[in-house]
Amino acid sequence: MDLHLEHEDVGLEDVEAVELNLEQASSMKFTEQDILSFFDGVKGVGPKMTSSIIDTLGVSGTVDALTNTPEKLLDVKNLKQKKLDVIMAHWQDFVR
């Protein structure tokens, strides 16, 4: 009796894919429209807050903050830690 196993699916592919997606997000090129669409889906972030974020950090600065240095978003007027937590949770879903 030969019990030779060619390949067993253990689910590690999913873990690796999430890590790659987060790494790829930092090198992806997001347009202003991409960022506007992203913030449009964040509960509690309206057009005024979105404009304030982009006016303060710029498009590339906003992407950098979202992917590398989220605390920079706290430089935006009226954006507090609680809102940052909501934004970052949505960003994790957005880049997957």
Q: What is the CATH number of the domain that holds 45?
A: 1.10.150
36-71 pLDDT, tens digit each: 999 999 999 999 999 999 999 999 999 999 999 999
Number of compact structural domains in the chain: 1
Q: Report the interhelical angle of 32-40 vs 47-67 (nearest 10°).
A: 110
Cβ pair 86, 70 in contact under 8 A: no
pTM above 0.85, yes or no: no
Residue 90 lies in a domain: yes
Return the pLDDT at 18: 46
Q: Which domain range does residue 80 map to? A: 31-94
